[in-house]
Structure formats: structure tokens, C-alpha cells
Amino acid sequence: MENEFSRIDLTCSAESLIPSGPGYDDINHQVCTLAGSTPGTTLVDGSQYIAQGFSYFKGDMWRNFGIIVALIVGFLILNVLLGEIVNFGAGGNSAKVYQKPNAERKKAQRGAPRERERKRPRAQKGTS
């Protein structure tokens, strides 16, 4: 906010001046209701407005920017570390999904022991 408001001057309208109404035409005896206003003028400096209204000061701008950058970097590092450490989807809460048994799979499972025996190398006679 300080970066933007430091460049502008706010103008008070006639409704924002105190006292207002008929007979109060001299600006030297009026003040604006905006924070940071100076008696006797309808212009309010943007820096004064946010300093008195929100306690934002130009000297704090780079400190606040540094805090935001530090938070972004900190959360990025935390995200990388936790992404490597935490196993998502593993453990007791994961759901197991089984396929329905079908005739082709049952036939393959019944024939598997015979197929293994057929492919197993046999010991040759005469060797120890």
C-alpha cells in the first residue's frame, strides 16, 4: 500500500469537511475527516493517510517484502521436504481393489505348477 499511496494526494469533498454547511466557506477554518489531513487544506498526502490510518510507513516496505519472500521460500522448502518424507496413499487407510476371478485366470493358475515342472532343468545322469 505504501508504494501506491506515496504517489497520490487524496482530495476531500465538501461533505467530508468539518464544519460544513451554509456559512462555512472558509477552508482556513475547516478540516477534512480523512486520517492524515491537515487543517486548512482539502488535500491529504497519501503517505500521511496510510501512516495515521493504518500505521504503514515507507521505511517498513522492504522489511515487509523480505518477510513475504522468506515465507514463500520457507513454505517451498517445507513442501519439498514433506513431499519426500510423507508417503501419501500408503498405509492402513488405502483401499485394496481385487479383480473379479474369471475362467481364463483360474485355468492358468491350475496349469501353472505343471508348466513350472516342465520348464525346470532336470539333473543329468553321471554328474554329482
Distances (CA, A) of 71 to 27, 49, 64, 79, 81: 47, 28, 11, 12, 15
Write down the pLDDT at residue 26: 82
Short-list 54, 53, 52, 34, CA closest to 44: 34
Provide the percentage of residues in the chain whose pLDDT is more than 70. Answer: 91
Residue 51 has pLDDT above 80, yes or no: yes
Contact 114, 107 (CB under 8 A): no
Using CA atoms, how far apart are residues 75 and 62, in angstroms rounded to an integer? Answer: 20
